[in-house]
A and B are shown apart, each in its own frame.
Chain A
Amino acid sequence: MIQRQDGELESEGDHLMTDRELVVQLARLARLPLDPEQADAVASIWRARVNEASNVPVESLRGVGLPLHLHLEAS
């Protein structure tokens, strides 16, 4: 799959994969039971989460490590 400039994903055959199809494929790969009737709702949440996280500019994360444990100091 490749990502177009508008953010949509395309498979190799130039078929535009919808979020629903993508989520169904991901569930299949993860062997996660997914009721087809729920696929649109799952895809909607999935897309929202991925888009929102992607909206955080990558340069703003420069030098930021991963807080595996939230470390706080009294001040």
Chain B
Amino acid sequence: MIPPMDISAAAALIKEGELSSVALVSSTLERLRTVDRHLHAFVTVDAEGALTQAERLDRELQDGRQRGPLHGIPVGIKDIFDVAGMPTKCGCRAFSDVPPASTDSTATARLRQAGAVIVGKTTTHELALGVSTPPTRNPWDLRRSAGGSSGGSGAAVAAGSIMAALGSDTGGSIRTPSALCGVVGLKPTYGRVSRAGVLPLSWSLDHAGAITRSVADAGLLLEILAGPDASDPSTLGQPAYNQPVLGNESLSDRRLGVVPEAFLDPLEESVRNGFEEAVEAARTLGAAIVKVSIPELKWALAAEFTIILAEAASYHEELLRMNPELLSEDILTQLQAGHLLPAATYLRAQRTRAVIQAAFRKAFDGHCLDGVLTPTVPCTAHLTEQTEQDMLDLSGTEEPAGQAYVRTTGPANLAGLPAIALPFKLSPEGLPISVQLLARPFQERELLRMAKALHDAAPCGLPWREPAGLGRALETR
């Protein structure tokens, strides 16, 4: 069992010789083997390779060489990121026989350069196009979904079977599983983190980032992952990122917007109550809460879904034409519809996206905002048997699952803004409720300071605890 501590704390113990990477990785693997039979959060585990990496890192440290801030720390990688020596199966039958990747994705390579031990690949929703990630289960209630599309990463970090994991986020795929599993998920600014070596879903909306237990870990991972990469032009010419030292942060002199459009209606009652508590907590921490209207957000879902489907259909055109039988029915119909959309419809969606981006800028400037506070998702985790098309009951209003989650997370993808999902409290049913903070482009330093303050004040902040559903399953083994 990984000790419930920040990555930086574990890395410091390793550096000081009080904990070996081999011991940490061994306990990680033992925990993973124990819990993953219930969670199905991993599709590939390279136990032998992980222990070999850990032994090498321990030797290097004895020789006085520390690779970086993740020296000896075990991490997981979503199975749409290339990891040298492991196949990238993308949760899709069409990729089931692919050979192992020959090189690392840029994000994976940066983790390795910082000393991380790659333990395995985490489960993804098929082609990263969905909000459920079957067969992964939610550790807080094994009958429920871990969310998607980075559901394996979210469940694994929540269960303590890994300290951090990579995820991708096109319409909320880092933040939704983070919210449903009760962990921290950071979608950086568009262009902050390279997507080279990652299966695209929608080039103009895809982001790469990490899922962690704490805000400090999110910042640490971002500092390692951020920066220009010639293989991903969106990252070129962007400002550098330096992680601030996070201490006891407050929200004094911060102005946080609360935006009703898209984010506040409809909501599950427990989420509404939790969000209202979070607003009060922010006020108590010194923030000025400002109600801000962004009417253009009523077009966000139209733009988001049209762009995703058109771009995904384009990327997967060969698969659609040559081997459509290798796609599940749900994915196939979405991609076929995307392929047949008129070009004018796609272009209108992209122009609508520009309007939404400008509307966010106007809201931030006009109200002198430092951030926007929203519920991360409108509900707690849905049952695994519910499909994307099934209606969720949000306090008397019905909304399809696949739309509800994207409604609150997608705007940050359209506008490219940095956004972080923070576990805030548990619902009366014992399921995580999460709040989301958005900030101006490339203002992750400010975002993380505000997030640290709010997370520290949250009823379910650190220390880490065993998710209840998983705990019950382990007791009755």
On whether the beta carbons of B234 and A69 are closer than 8 Å, the reply is yes
CB distance B350 to A67 under 8 Å? yes
Decide: B234 and A56 in contact? CB cutoff 8 A: no
Cβ–Cβ contact A61 & B305, under 8 A: no
- B306 contacts A by Cβ under 8 Å: yes
Q: In the complex, which of the residues B191, B302, B324, B348 contacts A33, with contact meaning CB atoms closer than 8 Å?
A: B324
Known: A32-B340, A55-B302, A72-B190. A61 touches B352 (CB 8 A): yes
Q: Could you tell me the distance in whole angstroms from the C-beta of B407 to the nearest C-beta in chain A?
A: 13
Given A50-B345, A55-B302, A67-B350, the answer on whether A74 and B320 have CB atoms closer than 8 Å is no
Contact with A along B341-364 (1 / 0, CB 8 A): 110010111111111010001001
Could you tell me if A72 and B299 are in contact, using CB atoms closer than 8 angstroms?
no
Q: Which residues of the partner chain B approach A49 to less than 8 Å between Cβ atoms?
A: 302, 305-306, 309, 337-338, 341, 345
Measured between alpha carbons, how far is A43 from B333 in the docked complex, in Å? Answer: 9
Is B329 close to A, CB under 8 A?
yes
Assembled-state Cα–Cα distance A66/B352 (Å): 9
Q: Beyond A23-B340, A72-B190, A74-B443, is A53–B345 a contact (Cβ under 8 Å)? A: yes
Q: Is the interface of B mostly helix, strand, loop or mixed?
A: helix
Residues of B within 8 Å of A27, CB to CB, are: 336, 340
A51 vs B289: C-alpha distance when bound (angstroms): 36
- The answer to whether A65 has its CB under 8 Å from any CB of chain B is yes
The size class of the interface chain A forms with chain B is 35 or more
Q: Which residues of A contact B338 (CB under 8 A)?
A: 49
Chain A stretch 9-63: residues in CB contact (< 8 A) with chain B: 23, 26-27, 30-35, 38, 41-43, 45-46, 48-50, 52-56, 60-61
- A33 touching B321, Cβ below 8 Å: yes
* A70 contacts partner chain B, Cβ-Cβ < 8 Å: yes
Task: Give chain B residues whose Cβ lies under 8 Å from the Cβ of A53.
Answer: 302-303, 306, 345, 348-349, 352
Residues of B within 8 A of A6 (CB): none
Q: Residue B347 contacts which of A32, A38, A66, A75 (CB distance < 8 angstroms)? A: A66
In this complex, the interface size class of chain B, counting residues with CB under 8 Å from chain A, is 35 or more
Q: Is there an interface contact between B354 and A52, defined as CB atoms closer than 8 Å?
A: no
A9 to B350, alpha carbons, bound, how many Å?
25
Which residues in B have their C-beta under 8 angstroms from that of A48? Answer: 305
Q: Is there a chain A Cβ closer than 8 Å to B133's Cβ?
A: no
The answer to whether A66 touches B302 (Cβ under 8 A) is no
Partner of B351, one of A46, A50, A52, A61: A61
Contact of B340 among A42, A55, A72, A75 (CB under 8 A): A42
Contacts of A42 in B (CB 8 A): 333, 336-337, 340
Most B-side CB within 10 Å, residue of A41, A42, A45, A49: A49
- Judge whether A34 and B336 touch: CB under 8 Å: yes
The interface residues of chain A lying within 8 Å CB-to-CB of B121 are none
For B295, give the chain A residue with the smallest CB separation. A60
- The minimal Cβ–Cβ distance linking A15 to chain B, given in whole angstroms, is 20
Within 8 Å of chain A (Cβ to Cβ): is B100? no
Would A70 and B345 count as touching, CB distance under 8 A?
no
Indicate if B339 sits at the interface (CB-CB under 8 A).
yes
Task: Tell me if B353 and A67 are in contact (CB < 8 A).
Answer: yes
Q: Shortest distance in angstroms between A10's beta carbon and chain B's nearest beta carbon?
A: 17
Does residue B384 face the partner (Cβ distance < 8 Å to A)? no
- Across the two chains, which residue of chain B brings its CB closest to A75? B440
Enumerate chain B residues within 8 angstroms of A41, measured Cβ to Cβ: 329, 333
> Cβ of A32 and Cβ of B441 under 8 Å apart?
no
Residues of A within 8 A of B239 (CB): 74
Q: Is the CB of B342 within 8 A of A64?
A: no
Contacts of A72 in B (CB 8 A): 189-191, 416, 441-442
A52 to B329, CA, bound (A): 23
Is B301 engaged at the interface, CB distance under 8 Å to the other chain?
A: yes
A53 vs B320: C-alpha distance in the bound complex, in angstroms?
24
Which chain B residue lies CB-closest to A27?
B340
B339 and A32 form a contact (CB under 8 A): yes
Contact string against A for B residues 427-465, beta-carbon threshold 8 Å, 1 for contact and 0 otherwise = 000000000000011110000000000000000000000
In the assembled complex, the Cα of A54 lies from the Cα of B339 at a distance in Å of: 17
Q: What are 7 A-B pairs with beta-carbon distances under 8 A?
A: A45-B333, A48-B305, A50-B342, A61-B351, A70-B191, A70-B357, A72-B442
A32-B340, A50-B342, A53-B302 known, 20 other contacts, Cβ within 8 Å: A26-B340, A32-B320, A32-B321, A32-B339, A38-B332, A38-B336, A42-B336, A45-B334, A45-B337, A52-B305, A52-B306, A56-B302, A61-B355, A64-B355, A67-B353, A69-B234, A72-B442, A73-B441, A74-B239, A74-B443
User: Contact residues of B with A, CB < 8 Å?
Assistant: 189-191, 204, 233-234, 239, 296, 299, 301-303, 305-306, 309, 320-321, 324, 329, 332-334, 336-342, 345, 347-355, 357, 361, 364-365, 416, 440-443
Which 5 A-B residue pairings sit nearest by Cβ, starting from the closest?
A52-B302, A45-B337, A72-B441, A74-B442, A46-B337
